[in-house]
Amino acid sequence: MTINNRLTSSDKNLLASLKTGRSQEQIFNSIATSIYDSHEGKITEQESRQSARNFIGFCQKIIDIQVRLDKEQEKKDNYDIDINKSWAKITNRMA
């Protein structure tokens, strides 16, 4: 089962709206509305907006972690390249 098969129509609309170049405010409102609709009136609009802020904050943390991991991997890759170049120079001198 793919992830698209598990998404509700509200989720699909939200994902589509993120791809359309909408403003940050429009995207935030879409997220808050999606959260509100998914709770079927069991939460207030204010609670859905707070949940949207929490969700966006969570997503930003995930992005920050991924950026940090990518930078660390790039440093490691560059270090490995430098080691390989140094080793190649050494072995060429010995030949």
pLDDT at 3 over 70: no
Residue 31: which of 73, 66, 6, 60 has the closest Cα? 60
List of residues 6+ apart from 30 with CB closer than 8 A: 13, 14, 17, 18, 22
pLDDT at 34 over 60: yes
> Average of pLDDT values for 28-54?
95
Could you tell me what percent of the chain has a pLDDT over 70?
A: 87
